Amino acid sequence: MGRRLNAELWDKMHYLFRDFNDRMVHLELHYDFEINLETLKTVLICFFEKAPVLHSRFVDNKVSPYWEVMPYRIEDVITVKHSDNVTEDIDRFLTQYIPPERDLQMKVGVFYYEGKTALCMVENHMCMDGGDFKYFIRSFCKAYSEYEEKGISPINLREGTRSYDSVYTDFSKTQEKMARNLYRNVCAKDTHKFPLTESKEGDRSFIARRRISEETFLKLKTVGKAHGATVNDMLVAAYFYSLYELAGYGEDESVTISCAIDLRRHMKDDEGQGVTNHTAFMQCNIPRRGRNIFETLQYVINSSNLFKKDKFMGLYGLPLLKFAYKILPHSASEEIIKIGYSNPLLAMSNIGILDHKALALGGNEPIDGFMTGAVKYKPYVLLSATSMRNVITLSMCVRGNEDDKKIVNTFFDIFERSIEKLLAE
Amino acid sequence: MTFTDYAENELKKLPNTKSAYLYKQEVIARMTARANELVESGLTDNKVINELIINEFSDIEKEYYERLKKKKKAAKTKNKSSLIALGIVGYVLLLVGAFLGVSFATGAWDKTWLIIVVGILGAVIAGLAGGCFALFAKKKKMAVFALLIVIPAIAALAYVVLGLIGLLAWHPGWLIIVASVFVDFIIIVGRLVISSKKEVEDEKWEDD
């Protein structure tokens, strides 16, 4: 039997989410050169050894689940192809599903085309969230460059605890005591849905995306500043405004979108932290659509400011989850949590900037790229956003059919028009 | 640097004992096994393999002393368990001896069985009380819960024993159990008052 690793609170929560999404986090980067495969393999093996959860299988023991570290071969991790149709190959690779019982929790795709390389990664959200996945890929690219150029062994990846309660380490004793007593169920109760079709056999995972140009992005920043709004606020406002139009919600209906927040904001220092999950949701609610998109924006700013003032933002509910997992065997705690947990129907994850400089491989910066969250099962949706070189990529991963693809693309069309309205002032 | 050189260098301060020697050999064997695993995974650069493994085994001296500490603790626990087992056997023999001795001497077999019952129950309650005392001594939160169990247990045992030997009337002797529950209630209230006073002090500190 292999070495065992603890199944942490968030590992178990993301396992519970198997009813709502496929738990895959996706990354696509394009480079204008051909990546050295041997260097990539060397770096990847070292990083797998530093983060052994990536080559472990999840054992769903009914009392106490755990990870079992498994032997692997790098050839099983990496798919290499000289592509004739790189878009299709990338799409097929990115929409794959990795069962948690498998020995590997991350897959890497290297697609060579026209003297370029598309580097794709798919990993199990149970292992790490978008925040740590960005750290992982930044460290990976740095290690690749140092190994390729200077022969420095690629062994620099944070190791340490993956426990959820690292978020409390930089609190004072009193604050920590207060935070650990935040026994509150903060799930979204809103029943407003994205207007996708009903689930049926034949539904397949797809990733729909839309770009917001650099010019538009820079204008968003400027207009946002004038209104006291961040780019994130502007995107959320456009999301709300577009949803009312697409789904036909009443103008006076209150709608909530659950926005992912990185709980690492509570941690000053990530020394001694292994790659893991530290993401929760905050409920961004607007009381009505507003007479125009600027009123919607003001509602979003008001909602977001309320959360920003809260020093315990995102920490509510953690003690309750911990309690449920502690006092009951795993199978029983899953059933209890499912009773109290309400998965958000509408969600957003602004994963943030993919720093093209930090993602350079041997001096070659990526020319394009994006990261996106899990494929959601209907009726749940998640709008993800990343930016690279001031170009925002919006994406929505759905398990659906051709009609759902059309609906998502229509949503993106309305979204673009909403952005134009925001900039039209 | 080979794994042997690394182990020799890192563990040079270890005493020249058999256990230190065996530990060194074990570390070298583990490092070699890890290297083989990495080669199986597909890693081909020996320099990287070496550095990765040395990085993994960076605290081998500390690990040795921690193992030693654990071994000593385990030996201590084993001795303690053996002594406790011996003590229990000795106590049971004493109890049986006392029962038989008193029974043969007095012929009051209808009463002397109480020696066994009181002896066993008394030992259990003494164990609980001892555990409770130990928890208080270590200032553990569970100490109060243990006390809440021990007090009524002692009261119940006292009621039964004193009632059986005729020193306490069954009625109103049962009030001793009610009194013990009342004592528990006072302890709970007292703890709550102390806790809330502490919370107010914490809040005041926070405000300040």
Q: What average pLDDT values come out for chain A (425 residues) when binned by 10 residues?
A: 91 95 97 97 98 97 96 97 96 96 97 97 97 97 97 94 93 90 81 95 95 96 93 96 96 95 91 92 94 95 90 89 90 91 94 97 96 96 96 97 97 97 86
A278-282, A398-402, B106-110, B195-199 — which is least confidently predicted? B195-199
Q: Is the pLDDT of residue B120 over 80?
A: yes
**Which residue reads 């320099």 in tokens?**
B47
pLDDT the model gives residue A309: 86
Give B196 or A247, the one with higher predicted confidence: A247
Are A293 and A421 spatial neighbours (Cβ–Cβ below 8 Å)? yes
Instruction: Tell whether B55 lies on the interface with A, counting CB pairs under 8 A.
Output: yes
Task: Give the count of beta carbons closer than 10 Å to the beta carbon of residue A412.
Answer: 21
Task: Decide if pLDDT at B203 tops 60.
Answer: no
Query: pLDDT value at position A144?
Result: 98
List the single residue in B with minimal CA-CA distance to A177: B202
Neighbour order of strands in the sheet with A4-6? A4-6, A66-69, A56-59
- Residue B88 has a pLDDT of 85
The pLDDT of residue B124:
83
Quick check: B202 contacting A, CB < 8 Å?
Answer: yes
Beta carbons of A78 and A106 less than 8 angstroms apart: no
Contact A11, A23 (CB under 8 A): no
Sign of CA dihedral A151, A156, A157, A159: positive
Is residue A82 within 8 A of residue A114, CB to CB? The reply is: no
Question: What is the pLDDT at residue B204?
Answer: 54
Amino acid, single-letter form, for residue A423: L
Q: Tell me if residue A331 falls in helix, strand or coil.
A: helix
Number of cross-chain residue pairs from A and B with Cβ atoms under 8 Å apart: 45
Q: Give the mean pLDDT of B70-88.
A: 87
How far apart CA A254 and CA A287 sit, in angstroms, is: 4
| A38/B205 touch (CB, cutoff 8 Å), yes or no | no
What residue in B sits closest to A46 (Cα-Cα)?
Answer: B52
CA distance B201 to B46: 61
CB A365 within 8 A of CB A97: no
Residue B208 has pLDDT above 50, yes or no: no
Q: What is the pLDDT of residue B201?
A: 60
Which of the residues B49, B52, B56, B198 would you substitute to probe the A interface, choosing the one with the greatest number of A C-beta atoms within 10 Å? B52
Q: What is the pLDDT of residue A327?
A: 87
Q: Contact A73/B206, CB-based, under 8 Å?
A: no
Proportion of chain B above pLDDT 90, given as a percent? 38
Tell me, what's the pLDDT at B207?
47
Q: List domains and CATH numbers for chain A.
A: 4-150 (3.30.559.10), 167-423 (3.30.559.30)
Whether chain A has a CB inside 8 Å of the CB on B38: the answer is yes
DSSP 8-state secondary structure symbol assigned to residue A374: P
DSSP state letters, B99-162 = HHHHHHHH--HHHHHHHHHHHHHHHHHHHHHHHHHHHHHTT-THHHHHHHHHHHHHHHHHHHHH
- Contact assignment for A151 to B38 by CB distance below 8 Å: no
Chain B environment of A155 (Cβ under 8 Å): 48, 51-52, 55
Verify cis geometry, omega within 30 degrees of 0, for the bond prior to A379: yes
Give the model's pLDDT for residue B199: 60
Q: Record the tokens describing residue B180, joined without a space.
A: 């013990």
Do residues A387 and A189 make contact, with C-beta atoms less than 8 angstroms apart?
no
Paired tokens of B156:
């119940």
Q: Which one, of A86, A153, A154, lies nearest residue A120 by Cα?
A: A86
